[in-house]
Amino acid sequence: MTPWFAPIVWEGTFNIDILNENFRQRNVTIGLTAFAVKKYTVFVETFIKTAEEHFMTGYKVNYYIFTDKPEALPTVSLKEGRKLIPVRVEKYERWQEVSMRRMEMISRLSETRFVNEVDYLVCIDIDMRFADHIGVEILTDLFGTLHPGVYSRVRQSFSYERRSQSQAYIPSDEGDFYYAGGFFGGTVLQVYRLTKACHEAMMEDKKNGIEAVWHDESYLNKYFVYHKPTKILSPEYLWDNGMGSPPILKKKRFLAVPKNHAAIRSNEK
C-alpha cells in the first residue's frame, strides 16, 4: 500500500474471483483507448488480437482506436460484447505532438461519447502486446502505472520536469513515484479531469514556448502528485523485455513490441 492507502497491484495481492463477482454484479463496460497515427497502424492487429485473449476477458469492452486512417484498420474477429470503434484524428507533424495530443482527444471524447458508453477507461500505448491476464483488479477511480525503468529508484532520480517555468514542474522534494505515460485510467469522470488538466497545462506551456522533458508523461506525473491515484499498477502491467526478467516480476502482462526506431520515426514510407 502507498502511505495514502492505495494498493499497488502485483501478482499475489488480489483474489480475482472475489473481484470478478463484484464487477460482474455491476455489469461494467470498459473502454480502452489507444492511438495508431501514421506508421503506428502496424501495431493494431497484434494489439487487438492479444487483447482478446488477455484483456478483461468476459467483460464488455469497447476498443476506441484513434487513427488518421480508419480505413486501414484490420478486421479482427471479436468475442461477444466487444467492439472496435475507430475514431478519426488529425496527424500532427511532430511525434511529440502526436503523443501529447492524446490528452486532448481523450478529454474531448470523454465528454461526448465515453460518458454515455463506458464506466471505466484504460488509456494505453499501442506498440504493445498483451501476454498475460489483465482484468478488473486494475479498475478504480484513478490509476497510474509504475514506469518499468525506474520503479526501484528514489524520488530525486526521477526524470520529472525540473524547470520551474513549466506547468509540469515538480520540486525535488515532492512526488511519490514515476508513472508511465503509456498506461493510466479510471472512471470516465476521473480520466476526463486528468486529461483535461494535462491538456490545459500543455497549452499553457506552448503559449510560453516551453515543452516538458517527457511530453505527456511529464504532465501526467505532475497531475498525480496532487491527485493521488487510488490504485497503482506494478510494472507487471507495462514491461519491456529489454529490461530483463527480475525475480520480483511474477508475470509480464503487457509487453513492448520491439520497434525499429529509425524506421518508425522516419518520414519515409
Which positions are annotated as active-site residues? 217
Q: Considering the rule CB under 5 A, would residue 125 count as an interface residue with Mn ion?
A: yes
Q: How far is the CB of 211 from ligand 4GW (least distance, A)?
A: 14
Q: Which does 68 bind (CB under 5 to 8 A by kind): Mn ion, ligand 4GW, none?
A: none
Closer CB to ligand 4GW, 189 or 213, in the complex:
213
CA dist., res. 145 & res. 232, Å (int): 6
Q: How far is the CB of 124 from Mn ion (least distance, A)?
A: 9
127 binds Mn ion, rule: CB under 5 A: yes
What does the binding site for ligand 4GW look like in residue numbers (CB under 6 A)?
A: 34-40, 95, 98-99, 125-127, 182, 265
Yes or no: say if 168 and 201 are a contact pair by the CB < 8 Å rule. Answer: yes
Pairing of strands 142-145, 29-36: unpaired
The residue assigned the cell 525535488 is: 172
Locate cell 489507444: which residue? Answer: 34
Q: Which residue number is nearest to ligand 4GW in terms of Cβ?
A: 265
Calpha distance 98→86 (Å, rounded) = 17
- What is the nearest approach in angstroms of Mn ion to the Cβ of residue 164? 29
For residue 126, the partner it binds in ligand 4GW, Mn ion, none, with Cβ less than 5 to 8 A by kind, is: ligand 4GW
Of 207 and 261, nearer to Mn ion (C-beta) is: 261
CA angle 215-218-219, nearest 5°? 95
- For residue 254, which of 149, 139, 163, 124 has the smallest C-alpha distance? 124
φ, ψ for residue 231, nearest 5 deg = -145, 155
Q: Which residues pair with 105 in a beta bridge?
A: none
Q: Quick one: 1 or 262, whose CB is closer to Mn ion?
A: 262
Q: Which is nearer to ligand 4GW, 6 or 128 (CB)?
A: 128
| Site residues (vs Mn ion, CB under 5 A) | 125, 127
